[in-house]
């Protein structure tokens, strides 16, 4: 009897080994260039999660956890970060990963023409190779977001040999040190990765192949999952959640994003700001905010799949400023404020990208604000055009989403800093710049929370951005898949995933 059991177990084991398992993931967009230094889209980060390991990673609670670096230590003056590297790691071309490779990669991020990482690593001055597995990153000033920056593309390591061999088109055949290596890419059709036998954490990898397929339409993406063409899809439409729950073959996961959906107001980007009561008078902006019921917007526009919020981080985040709670809808007070401002029926244009989410949000906002006396005109604008108009300050208000970063600095600095590239409101205040820099120079969390609380209270008075909610990342997958980790950055980490 026991022989029989042993035999069948052995057979089952052979069957498992023999059957090459592929994980097919449906993406909402076609990723851009697969070079961590040049990449600029959210969706390419999903592919990188399987392809390129980083120095450190973040976990479900946004803690920094080891990946290619096993430990780190700040210097006494907080102007240098020393990292101990994992031994025995190789790149997909067999080259050794060591301190020299880290130095090469950070230098490449900082110097490659067109690098999107240069800005993120601006405070990094030099990198010292201490020994084969120790590296010291020197900074011009203390920079608290550095670790979360290294937990994203700026911390991804590519093979120096391969990068030097392909100076202009490394992204067409990337060589990293992640669990899967690059096999082929057919633009807009598929990206195929194959298991890397030399991966340092191979015990945690249970697929032989990962195929990413961009399918833009959420309904079609889901149809592919239902028909078994795909095993996993990202960014499920909130309206499909009910039917996924009812489907016995499917499972789903969700987590609140790091980013936000909000309305940016032109308060000083151009002369147009002064021509409109919304841009001119903070009382009108307060009235506009009071006319909105965030929970209602989430219910109607997002089918409940978001968390109402009024700051750059969600209310559950440890950096959320509790001194500035979400204001309740108050139409009477809104009308009163408009009366005081001398504009009982202010009119403005709400520039809205053409995505269905943004359109729905704009329509609900329009209807709610109308009750307080606002005349909101929705101006549907293709995304590229809207970006251009926002940059020139040719708008009154702009429905804008941000994918979010693990450190609040990534949601703030570029938006609130004077003359920063994403400061579409045009609000420029030396005091805010000082607070933003202080938050970067302060390493202890309690100190930073205080700085953000001060900034939140200041921003509350001016309201350059009216934050509405934080969307849920929604993933649906074959019920046989286990080990899905819901990390708020919305990426799909293959480590531990099984089917």
Partner 1 sequence: MLQYLLKRLAAIIPTVFFVTVIIFGLQQLLPGDAASVLAGENQDPEVIAYLQKKMHLDEPLPVRYAYWISGVFHGDLGESMRIQQPVLDLIKEKLPVTLQLAAMAMVIALLIGIPAGIVSAVGKDSAWDYLANVIALWGLSTPNFWLGILMILVFSVQLGWLPASGYVSPFEDLGANLAAMIMPAFVLGNAIAAVLMRHTRSAMLQVLNADYVRTARAKGLNERRVVLKHALRNALTPIITLGALEFGTLLSGAVLTEQVFSIPGFGKLIVDAVFNRDYAVVQGVALFTSSVYILLNLLADLAYFVVNPRLRG
x/- letters, 362..391, toward partner 1 (CB under 8 A): --------------------xxxx-xx--x
Question: Using the rule CB under 8 A, which residue among 49, 67, 105, 115 binds partner 1?
Answer: 115
DSSP assignment of 27-80: ESS----S-TTT---HHHHHHHHHH--BSEEE-TT--EEESSEEEEEE-TTSSE
Looking at the Cβ atoms of 186 and 197, the one nearer to partner 1 is 186
Cβ neighbours of 278 (radius 10 Å): 26
Looking at the Cβ atoms of 204 and 420, the one nearer to partner 1 is 420
Residue 34: CB minimum distance to partner 1, A: 8
Tokens representing residue 486 in the block: 């819901």
Is residue 219 close enough to count as binding partner 1 by CB under 8 A? yes
Report DSSP state, residue 310: S
What is the C-alpha separation between 123 and 145, in angstroms, rounded? 10
List CB contacts of 158: < 8 A, sequence separation 6 or more: 35, 36, 37, 52, 91, 105, 108, 170, 174, 175, 176
Looking at the Cβ atoms of 228 and 344, the one nearer to partner 1 is 228
Is residue 240 close enough to count as binding partner 1 by CB under 8 A? no
Residue 85: CB minimum distance to partner 1, A: 27
Is residue 496 close enough to count as binding partner 1 by CB under 8 A? no
For residue 383, give the H/E element and its range.
helix 383-392
Looking at the Cβ atoms of 34 and 341, the one nearer to partner 1 is 34
Q: Which of residues 184-213 bind partner 1 (CB under 8 A)?
A: 185-190, 213
Strands (E), 98-247: 124-131, 134-139, 180-186, 190-195, 209-214, 232-233
Looking at the Cβ atoms of 67 and 115, the one nearer to partner 1 is 115
Looking at the Cβ atoms of 136 and 405, the one nearer to partner 1 is 405
- Strands 250-256 and 465-478 come out as antiparallel
End-to-end alpha carbon distance in the chain? 30
Residue 381: CB minimum distance to partner 1, A: 9
Looking at the Cβ atoms of 50 and 495, the one nearer to partner 1 is 50
Is residue 167 close enough to count as binding partner 1 by CB under 8 A? no
Q: How many Cα atoms occupy the beta-carbon half-sphere of 28 within 13 Å?
A: 18
For residue 425, give the H/E element and its range.
none
Residue 224: CB minimum distance to partner 1, A: 4
Is residue 308 close enough to count as binding partner 1 by CB under 8 A? no
Question: How many residues at the interface with partner 1, by CB under 8 A?
Answer: 53
Binding site for partner 1 (CB under 8 A): 30-35, 38-42, 113-116, 118-120, 168-169, 171-172, 185-190, 213-217, 219-220, 223-224, 226-229, 382-385, 387-388, 391, 402-403, 414, 421-422
């Amino acid at each position: 009897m026991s022989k029989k059991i042993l035999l069948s177990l052995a057979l089952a084991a052979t069957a498992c080994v023999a059957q090459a398992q592929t994980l097919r993931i449906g993406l909402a967009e076609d990723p851009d260039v697969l070079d961590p230094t040049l990449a600029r889209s959210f969706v390419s980060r999903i592919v990188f999660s399987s392809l390129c390991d980083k120095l450190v990673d973040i976990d479900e609670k946004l803690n920094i956890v080891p990946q290619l670096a096993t430990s780190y230590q700040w210097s006494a003056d907080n102007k240098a970060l020393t990292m101990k590297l994992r031994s025995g790691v190789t790149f997909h071309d067999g080259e050794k990963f060591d301190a020299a490779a880290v130095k090469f990669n950070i230098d490449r991020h900082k110097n490659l023409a067109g690098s999107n990482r240069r800005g993120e690593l601006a405070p990094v001055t030099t990198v010292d190779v201490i020994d084969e597995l120790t590296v010291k990153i020197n900074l011009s000033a203390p920079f608290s977001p550095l670790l979360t920056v290294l937990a994203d593309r700026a911390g991804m390591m590519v093979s120096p040999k391969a990068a030097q061999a392909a100076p202009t088109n490394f992204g067409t055949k990337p060589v990293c040190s992640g669990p899967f290596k690059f096999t082929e890419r057919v633009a807009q059709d598929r990206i195929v990765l194959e298991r890397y036998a030399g991966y340092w954490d191979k015990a945690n990898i249970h697929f032989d192949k990962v195929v990413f397929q961009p399918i833009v339409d959420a309904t079609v993406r889901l149809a592919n999952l239902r028909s078994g063409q795909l095993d996993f899809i990202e960014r499920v439409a909130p309206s499909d959640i009910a039917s996924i729950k009812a489907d016995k073959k499917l499972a789903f996961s969700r987590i609140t994003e790091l980013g936000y959906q909000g309305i940016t107001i032109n308060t000083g980007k151009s002369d147009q700001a002064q021509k409109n009561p919304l841009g001119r008078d903070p009382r009108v902006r307060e009235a506009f905010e009071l006319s909105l019921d965030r929970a209602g917007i989430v219910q109607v526009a997002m089918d409940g799949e978001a968390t109402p919020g009024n700051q750059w981080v969600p209310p559950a985040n440890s950096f959320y400023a509790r001194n500035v709670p979400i204001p309740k809808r108050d139409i009477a007070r809104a009308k009163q404020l408009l009366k005081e401002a001398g504009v009982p029926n202010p009119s403005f244009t709400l520039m809205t990208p053409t995505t269905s989410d943004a359109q729905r949000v704009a329509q609900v906002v329009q209807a709610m604000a109308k009750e307080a006396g606002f005349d909101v005109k929705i101006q549907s604008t293709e995304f590229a055009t809207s970006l251009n108009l926002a940059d020139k300050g040719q708008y009154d208000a702009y429905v804008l989403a941000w994918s979010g970063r693990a450190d609040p600095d990534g949601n703030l600095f570029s938006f609130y800093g004077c003359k920063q590239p994403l400061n579409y409101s045009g609000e420029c205040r030396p005091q805010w710049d000082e607070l933003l820099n202080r938050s970067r120079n302060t390493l202890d969390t309690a100190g930073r929370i205080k700085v953000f609380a001060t900034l939140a209270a200041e921003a509350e008075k001016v309201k350059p951005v009216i934050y509405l909610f934080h969307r849920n990342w929604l993933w649906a997958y074959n019920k046989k898949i286990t080990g899905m980790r819901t990390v708020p950055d919305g990426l799909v980490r293959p480590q531990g995933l099984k089917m």
